[in-house]
Chains A and B, each alone.
Chain A
Amino acid sequence: MVSIQNWMRCSPAWIFFCFCCLPLLLLALPMPPKRAGFAPASHSCRLRKMSFQQSYIRNRTYTLAKLASLSDQDTDNRLIGQQLYINVQETNRCYVMKRVIEIIVNEVLLSVTSNRYPYIHEVAQFLAALSTELSDCKFSGHREHVEKNLEEMKDKIKQLGVSGKNKAIGELDLLFDYLENACTEAPKKIVTSKGGNKRKN
């Protein structure tokens, strides 16, 4: 305590710190305040509808997922679902899906033996390209919920081991659709069916 008080009294050093070091420090870290302050989350969290309109890659993704899901006997556990969005605002959903892609590409698609799965390289490349397009997509608000939901997904994959990876590949079709719905301007009509007017009762 005494030494600190002594140092505080030593005014030239204090003044030097205030006028020179502090501004330098602030200059060195210009990004974080801006991000937290103004950048609207949705601004760069957008993918062009075009990216999803090629039936070629869509069908390859679906085919790959179908093939993997046929050997997935576990119908209780699911990785890509509404639970990813628990306590997450709608404007942040695209961010969530961007993070999901990164996890699935890095921890699943790039780590399995590809000769078991047709088209897996193509699909991985496609998804990786979209996640690059979303590199400026940032989160706004509190992140704990997102991190928690993502952690749970990761844990599930790990717990299930090899079949967890196979399950993730079996859900690439869901990943594709969720990504499209969360990140394109006019979500395809898959979403509208979840509205109120579809059921007879």
Chain B
Amino acid sequence: MLSIHAAALLTVLIKCYPLYLLIHLLWTGVTVSGNRELHELIKPQKVEFHSLNFNNTLHWHPGRAATGDIIYFVQYKVYGQSLWKNKEECWGIHEVFCDLTHETSDIGEPYYGRVKSLSAGVHSVWITSSRFTPWRETKIGPPSVNVTPRNKSIKLKLQAPNSPYTRRRGSKIPMTNYYDLSYQVFLISNMLDEKNKILVYEGTDKIVKIEGLKPEVSYCIVVATYLPVLDRSSVYSGRKCTVPL
């Protein structure tokens, strides 16, 4: 008798087990998310370095439920160190970015940055960026361009962008100090149509003369910086136009 009862009970348990499991899962799911809710919702998203000419800034997106009272804390370190350093200027800030140019100035070293948020007395966990090595990842800007019209030609004066670093005397160190850069000069033959670009010069000269042009016709040029070692080009410089004499 007893064994029959036990067997019946067992079959009921087995039949109902999936249901029980589902209820259990739902219940724990609800309680856990209830506890974690605010942590999770204010957690910074997409923590990453943005870098142009070694100006290195940590950026992030506010959490999914970030409200006005949310503030952020930033730390950084060199990969391999065990201690994180506080970035004092970005300790309890409202902005969603933090300039770490100084802290990441050893350009061959790999760095990490991390951010946590605080809202209504609740801290999020730290969210860490991916490893960032300035020399490998910085974007190089286009050169500054000066155009002077000449006899059936245009003379260009090109200057590489500066790094944020300065010499002892105070002058800025150009990016050419850190990379072998070259310039790509494009002539826009039809003033209105950017797509009709012709590569007219590629090299390292700072002064470039484009010859064989028609006088009294307007020409525009754009220039990009090219980084052979990484096979990367900058965005184009602003368009500069002139009329050869």
A-side interface residues toward B, CB under 8 Å? 52-53, 55-56, 58-59, 62, 66, 69-70, 75-78, 81, 170, 173-174, 177, 181, 188-194, 197-200
CB-contact partner of A198 in B105, B228, B231, under 8 A: B105
Minimum CB–CB distance from A179 to chain B (whole Å) comes to: 13
Residues from chain B with a CB closer than 8 A to the CB of A59 are 230-231
Assembled-state Cα–Cα distance A35/B234 (Å): 49
Minimum CB–CB distance from B129 to chain A (whole Å) comes to: 10
Contact: A200 with B165, CB < 8 Å?
yes
B-side interface residues toward A, CB under 8 Å? 77, 79-82, 102, 105-108, 110, 112, 128, 130-131, 133, 135-136, 164-168, 173, 177-179, 228-231
Contact: A58 with B230, CB < 8 Å?
yes
CB-contact partner of A75 in B107, B112, B231, under 8 A: B112
- Residue of A69, A78, A189 with most chain B CB atoms under a 10 A cut-off: A189
CB-contact partner of B229 in A55, A174, A181, A194, under 8 A: A55
Known A55-B231, A197-B167, A197-B168: A62·B136 in contact at CB below 8 Å: yes
Contact: B110 with A189, CB < 8 Å?
no
Contact: A189 with B79, CB < 8 Å?
no
Assembled-state Cα–Cα distance A170/B131 (Å): 10
User: Whose C-beta in chain A lies nearest to the C-beta of B176?
Assistant: A189
Sample of 10 more A-B contacts, CB < 8 Å, known A52-B229, A77-B80: A55-B228, A55-B231, A70-B130, A75-B77, A78-B80, A177-B135, A190-B178, A193-B107, A198-B107, A200-B102
User: Whose C-beta in chain A lies nearest to the C-beta of B179?
Assistant: A189
Give the 4 A-B CB pairs with smallest separation, nearest first: A78-B80, A55-B231, A190-B108, A198-B165
Q: Report 20 cross-chain contacts, Cβ distance below 8 Å, ordered by A residue.
A: A55-B229, A55-B231, A58-B229, A62-B136, A69-B131, A75-B80, A76-B80, A170-B131, A173-B136, A177-B135, A188-B229, A189-B177, A189-B178, A191-B108, A192-B178, A193-B107, A197-B173, A199-B102, A199-B105, A200-B166
Assembled-state Cα–Cα distance A55/B232 (Å): 9
Residues from chain A with a CB closer than 8 A to the CB of B131 are 66, 69, 75, 170
Residues from chain B with a CB closer than 8 A to the CB of A55 are 228-231
Residues from chain B with a CB closer than 8 A to the CB of A69 are 130-131
Assembled-state Cα–Cα distance A191/B133 (Å): 13
Contact: A193 with B108, CB < 8 Å?
yes
Minimum CB–CB distance from A201 to chain B (whole Å) comes to: 8
Residues from chain B with a CB closer than 8 A to the CB of A200 are 102, 164-166
Residues from chain B with a CB closer than 8 A to the CB of A170 are 131
Minimum CB–CB distance from A194 to chain B (whole Å) comes to: 6
Residues from chain B with a CB closer than 8 A to the CB of A192 are 177-178
Contact: B77 with A194, CB < 8 Å?
no
Residues from chain B with a CB closer than 8 A to the CB of A198 are 105-107, 165, 173
Minimum CB–CB distance from B54 to chain A (whole Å) comes to: 9
Minimum CB–CB distance from B84 to chain A (whole Å) comes to: 9
Contact: B79 with A78, CB < 8 Å?
yes
Assembled-state Cα–Cα distance A188/B130 (Å): 25
Residues from chain A with a CB closer than 8 A to the CB of B105 are 193, 198-199
Assembled-state Cα–Cα distance A75/B177 (Å): 30
Minimum CB–CB distance from A35 to chain B (whole Å) comes to: 33
Contact: A193 with B136, CB < 8 Å?
no
Assembled-state Cα–Cα distance A188/B165 (Å): 17
Contact: A190 with B231, CB < 8 Å?
no
